[in-house]
Amino acid sequence: MKKYQYLLEGAALGFALSVSLSAHASGDYEAGKAKSTVCAGCHGADGVSTVPSFPKLAGQHPDYLYHALRDYKSGKRKNPIMAGQVEALSDTDMHDLALFFSKQQGLYLKY
């Protein structure tokens, strides 16, 4: 009986986490596209940077991008350039940008 209880609890936890994460994957694509022009200088217009020291944003998971922006804004992630860039971003702005860049075609390594 305990085995089934653990399975049910695990399934319930998994469902709750997926609902929570999908709620964060919100945003407005077109708004994100408009807001992304500032990002293009370092990360490329479509999120594929041509400079090795600047991360490629295209195709990244929207939750990852959103949390990275939020962490730069809070100071949890340290980068003086990004700290200045995210300073004025609202939570909505960060969701919009995350959604836009997540929908761009990323470059994948072929082995």
Each residue's pLDDT tens digit, 39-95: 999 999 999 999 999 999 999 999 999 999 999 999 999 999 999 999 999 999 999
**Domain ranges for the chain:** 27-102
Of 106 and 19, more confident: 106
pLDDT recorded at residue 106: 81
Distance CA 14, CA 20 (A): 10
Mark residue 109 as left, alpha or beta (left: phi above 0; alpha: psi -120 to 50; beta: remaining): beta
- Fold for 27-102, please state it: Cytochrome Bc1 Complex; Chain D, domain 2 (1.10.760)
